[in-house]
Amino acid sequence: MLIKKKRVQILGMLLLAGILSAPLSACSRTMDPKSIAKPPVATTNERGQKDPDKVDWGALETEPEELTEAAKTLRDLDMGYFVGAPDILNAYYMFDNPQKYYSDWPTVGLHFPTDEEYNSSPAAYKDIISLIEGLDQSQLDESQIREVKDMLFDFTAYEKLYENWIYAPQLNPMGGKQMTYPLLTSLIQFQSKADVERYFLILGDYYTFFSRAVEVEKMRSEKGIGWNDENLDRIIADCQRMQENRDTHFLKTTFESRLGALHLSDQETADYMKKNQELLDTVYFPTMEMLIEKLQELKGLCNDEPYLAETVEGKAYYEALFAFRSGVSYTVDECKDMLQAEIDRIYEEYEPRWRSSGSYFAFGNLSFEEACEWCQRFMQDHFPQIQSNSVSIYEIPSEFSDSIQPARYYTSPIDNVTKHSVWINKGLVDNPEYDMFTLVAHEMYPGHLFQHQYQAEILNNKYQVFATGMPYAEGWAQYAERLMIRYAPFDQVQADNAWTASILYSSYIAARLSIGVEYEGWDYDRCLTYLEKYGQDKEVLDQYWKNLTATQCYGVEYAFGFYFTDKILQNAVKELDGICTEDEVIEAYLALGCAPFEVLEEDMEAFIRSKKG
């Protein structure tokens, strides 16, 4: 089948709030299988001549005759999946330069999918699933089969999620688009005048984009599945903060500083500054004012607890989201039982230690720079080497500290895997009790940054690298934390006590409460009864409750990501004791790339058998 040259439409996956391993906190895509871009081998005639209307991937390392038909189709899908972007803001975080990836800059600044686009997405995913399932796997090697399994797992979840897309929040009380989009816009670096003009297109689309977002929030509220008054107030407070201090607003001050890289004339600088101010005054600030007004009107419509499973559609949505966030195909109840057993095991073992030490969390006092130096030095001795890279560290203004997580790693551009970005929430990490060592280990070395770049360098496909699932990414990052703590320059007993308390209370118990609230219908009192079993009180629950009622599947990707990552790796280390070092086991695991944990478990079992001979 010959495919005409057409940019693949990538819809913002607004179903998935807060994602570390995607360019934006809500970025994924759906595709029409009839417009999947094809590399040259699929767009030449029988004489080997290229059709000028077809997509040209440029030089490919693998010659066409070396690939089977199934391998060609999979490669077309793998490469074509990332062609294009829904809007300019996404493009800036997906690509260093879109033309390097056979694409181009979008012409729209911010794109919000229409109802028709949302409603047609399940059928599009169903067609793509059929295409993948129809591949002759006898023509694929092990790595290609693993990619197929990864795609099928994700696309099946996407299909089910889009069937009930109205259940997905568009604005969020914890780092929602009302916060992250302005901050991301302010970080766009200007390397040419064209960058400035694209920035203006983004800013000019704010009112249209967020009008659509609040319209969907109204639909959700009228259906009885929107935010309660407390969370509406939190979103409103975000919008209020995002328009305060207009004379020194960050979208004004950062714009001026970014222009400095272009070496413009005084008149050009003045003209650009004037246009930026006009867009702030006529589009951006009115957008925030509109959101405040429209969100106020939704109060009183949805003050029940966020019990998704009380309707057939809500239960189907939750189960699909849970699968995506847990990385396994087990049922919610099966996962719940596994998690509960692990919670009880840890508490029974560690509670006496915590009681005797008198402190759960505090250990270490390294600065960010010291932690980076220590972790990088450790990696030189224990991990495969990666290419030299650049890391931009962006500090989130302290006034936004209540609405943004402590830190966030943003995946490198598809066309430049050595360029990385990390956000640090100064309002939180400046707390003297905050542990900077585990932050660096989690977000950078050997956590997200290392995992992403290493796999980008060694894997032949792009999907497993640039569509990395949240549970896989978070599971590895938390495993990296614990691994580093074993070698850290701290009191080992106290560090182990502190880290284990963190995984229990911040991940495992948080996820168990989330299942209870959203899937089983637990109310506040039921959650309190549960928490009291683990030495916690109402004051602690109040902190949990803010997150449980403001984030769907709160903590699930962290809890099950670490649970399954740890299970797979510790089993391999134990089975291969005296045969392979732990470093060799870890390298073998990372070489598999992202996949559902059941697939990774099978592959690591095969690795164990191969090493045992």
Residue that the structure tokens 């970014």 belong to:
258
pLDDT of residue 493: 82
pLDDT of residue 360: 54
Question: How many whole angstroms separate alpha carbon 246 and alpha carbon 285?
Answer: 9
Residue that the structure tokens 């600065």 belong to:
367
More confident residue, 6 or 568: 568
The sign one gets for the Cα dihedral 367, 368, 374, 378 is positive
Give the model confidence (pLDDT) of 335-377 as tens digits. Answer: 999 999 999 999 999 998 888 865 555 556 777 888 888 899 9
pLDDT of residue 437: 82
Give the model confidence (pLDDT) of 571-582 as tens digits. Answer: 999 999 999 999
435 within 8 A of 407, measured Cβ to Cβ: no
235 within 8 A of 176, measured Cβ to Cβ: yes
Mean pLDDT, residues 262-284: 97
pLDDT of residue 362: 52
The pLDDT of residue 591 is above 60: yes
pLDDT of residue 27: 28
Give the model confidence (pLDDT) of 397-415 as tens digits. Answer: 766 766 677 778 888 999 8
Does the predicted TM-score (pTM) go above 0.85? yes
pLDDT of residue 436: 78
- Strand pairing class (407-410; 419-425): antiparallel
Give the model confidence (pLDDT) of 94-149 as tens digits. Answer: 999 888 887 789 999 999 998 998 999 999 899 999 999 999 999 999 999 999 99
CA atoms within 13 A on the CB side of 241: 21
Q: How far is CA 151 from CA 3, 128, 155, 596, in A?
A: 21, 10, 6, 9
Count CB atoms within 10 A of the CB of residue 350: 17
The most confident of the ranges 238-242, 482-486, 605-609 is 605-609
Average pLDDT, the chain: 85
More confident residue, 13 or 258: 258
Give the model confidence (pLDDT) of 203-250 as tens digits. Answer: 999 999 999 999 999 999 999 999 999 999 999 999 999 998 899 999
Angle between helix 582-592 and helix 597-612 axes, rounded to 10 deg: 130
pLDDT of residue 15: 28
What radius of gyration do the chain's Cα atoms show? Answer: 24
Prior bond to 446 cis, omega within 30? yes
Mean pLDDT, residues 252-267: 94
Question: How many whole angstroms separate alpha carbon 604 and alpha carbon 177?
Answer: 38
Query: What is the three-state SS of 394-434?
Result: EEECHHHCCCCCCEEEECCCCCCCCEEEEEEEHHHHCCCCC
Count CB atoms within 10 A of the CB of residue 450: 24
The pLDDT of residue 330 is above 60: yes
568 within 8 A of 576, measured Cβ to Cβ: no
Q: Where are the domains of the chain?
A: 33-167, 177-296, 328-383+429-612
pLDDT of residue 40: 37
The pLDDT of residue 167 is above 70: yes
Locate 559 and state its tokens: 């809890």
DSSP state of 531: H
Cβ neighbours of residue 139 under 8 Å, at least 6 residues apart? 68, 69, 70, 71
Question: How many whole angstroms separate alpha carbon 420 and alpha carbon 390?
Answer: 6
The pLDDT of residue 585 is above 80: yes
pLDDT of residue 492: 80
pLDDT of residue 18: 26
Count CB atoms within 10 A of the CB of residue 59: 5
